[in-house]
């Protein structure tokens, strides 16, 4: 039997993932190593060539199993159970969408518009990444994260506890169904992929992430339509509404907000130069 060290195991993992065309092979192999052995980068650098003892040897089997799953297209974040968003740690599982870097554009835009004492609602909160990062980094006095999925809310609740955010409440609700209160800001990254386009998504996404979090109905705009119609009733005059959108939905979502009486409607691009966020303000009565 081969005598492993951190170094040889990591190299094996990287090669395995590379052979299966995994994009960030070296990084993913490292995340899985860190997850299984609970070692820091510094520990790794100091002990990288030491031969494994019996306990470490045993864990290498679990590592190899995760590398195999990753090779088959399982997202690394579901395998480690965690990810980073806005520099903060978030737990994830198959019941929530994996927080995306694209969504940080929404959070940054919201932070730049947020006033002190903000009462915030995050519709379709999933892992809670939006409402919780805004509460951690912004001036939120209280916030609600609403979702229709009880399983997603369990994940969000654990994230809320880990980040120590008692000003945030997680609510089980079908859109505004069980939401009460008035808000200074409403944010949402709702499901927005047209149903027929889901099969064209990357396999990693369509085979593993919850379709409930992706499917925006026939034209992808179902949730924007409902949220544009109903948000006005829950926002103070001058309050803001911000959506993450698909790259080709800027015009359509702006129009929906215009029809619903919102003003100062803007579209913002992501780092790739694609439309990613639409935001608007509720007109004073
Ligand atoms: N709000 C969560 C996120 O941005 C979940 C979004 C969703 O489920 N559509 O990751």
ipTM: 0.92
Proportion of the chain in helix, strand, coil states, percent, rounded to 5: 45, 20, 35
Distance separating alpha carbons of residues 143 and 166, to the nearest angstrom: 9
Instruction: Tell me the per-residue pLDDT of 159-208, one tens digit each, with 9 for 90 and over.
Output: 999 999 999 999 999 999 999 999 999 999 999 999 999 999 999 999 99
User: What are the phi and psi torsion angles at 106 (to 5°)?
Assistant: -65, -45
pLDDT of residue 152: 98
Predicted local distance difference test score (pLDDT) of residue 255: 98
Question: What pLDDT does 110 receive?
Answer: 98
Residue nearest to atom 4 of ligand 1 (CA): 189
pLDDT score for 88: 98
Report whether 121 contacts 93 (CB < 8 A): no
Q: What are phi and psi of 199, to 5 degrees?
A: -70, -15
| Distance from residue 155's CA to the centre of ligand 1 (Å) | 12
CB 173 within 8 A of CB 146: yes
216 within ligand 1 shell (Cβ under 6 A)? no
Q: Given a cut of 80, is residue 2 above it in pLDDT?
A: no
Q: What is the atom index within ligand 1 of the atom nearest the CA of 212?
A: 8
Measure 97 CA to ligand 1 centroid, in angstroms: 6
Residue 1 has pLDDT above 90, yes or no: no
Tokens standing for 126?
Answer: 């999933």
* Predicted pLDDT at 284: 83
Put simply, whether the predicted model's pTM sits higher than 0.90 gets the answer yes
> Residue range 251-268: average pLDDT?
98
Question: Domains of the chain by range and CATH?
Answer: 6-80 (1.10.8), 86-282 (3.40.50.150)
- Residue 178 has a pLDDT of 96
How distant, in Å, are the alpha carbons of 71, 139, 235, 255 from that of 110? 37, 11, 15, 20
Q: Is 97 in the pocket of ligand 1 (CB under 6 A)?
A: yes
How is residue 3 written in tokens?
């005598």
Query: Which residues does the annotation place in the binding site for S-adenosyl-L-methionine?
Result: 147, 189
> Strand, helix or coil at 66?
helix
Q: What's the pLDDT score for residue 220? A: 97
Mutate to test the pocket of ligand 1, among 85, 92, 99, 145 (most ligand atoms within 8 A of CB): 99
125 within ligand 1 shell (Cβ under 6 A)? yes
Structure tokens at 285: 């009565």
Distance CA 208, CA 198 (A): 12
Q: How would you class 249 by CB atoms within 10 Å of its CB: exposed for 0-12, middle for 13-18, buried for 19 or more?
A: buried
Tens digits of residue pLDDT in 207-247 = 999 999 999 999 999 999 999 999 999 999 999 999 999 99
pLDDT tens-digit series, residues 37-90 = 999 999 999 999 999 999 999 999 999 999 999 999 999 999 999 999 999 999
pLDDT at position 206, please?
A: 94
């Amino acid at each position: 039997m081969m005598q492993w060290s951190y170094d040889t195991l990591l190299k094996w993992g990287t090669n395995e993932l590379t052979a299966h065309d995994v994009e960030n092979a070296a990084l993913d192999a490292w995340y899985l190593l860190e997850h299984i052995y609970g070692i820091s980068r510094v520990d790794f650098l100091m002990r990288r060539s030491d031969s494994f003892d019996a306990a470490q040897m045993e864990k290498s089997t679990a590592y190899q199993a995760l590398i195999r799953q990753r090779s088959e297209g399982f997202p690394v974040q579901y395998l480690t159970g965690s990810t980073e968003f806005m520099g903060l740690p978030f737990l994830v599982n198959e019941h929530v969408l994996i927080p995306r870097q694209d969504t940080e554009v929404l959070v940054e835009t919201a932070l730049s518009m947020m006033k002190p004492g903000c009462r915030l609602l995050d519709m379709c909160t999933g892992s809670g990444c939006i409402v919780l990062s805004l509460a951690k980094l912004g001036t939120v006095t209280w916030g609600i994260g609403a979702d229709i999925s009880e399983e997603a809310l369990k994940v969000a609740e654990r994230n809320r506890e880990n980040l120590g955010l008692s000003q945030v409440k997680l609510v089980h609700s079908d859109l505004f169904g069980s939401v009460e209160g008035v808000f200074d800001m409403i944010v949402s990254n709702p499901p927005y992929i047209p149903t027929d386009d889901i099969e064209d998504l990357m396999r990693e996404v369509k085979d593993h992430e919850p379709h409930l979090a992706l499917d925006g109905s026939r034209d992808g705009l179902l949730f924007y339509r409902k949220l544009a119609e109903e948000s006005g009733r829950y926002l103070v005059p001058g309050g803001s509404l911000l959506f993450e959108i698909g790259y080709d939905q800027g015009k359509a979502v702006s129009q929906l907000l215009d029809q619903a009486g919102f003003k100062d409607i803007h579209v913002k691009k992501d780092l790739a130069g694609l439309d990613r966020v639409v935001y608007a303000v509720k007109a004073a009565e």
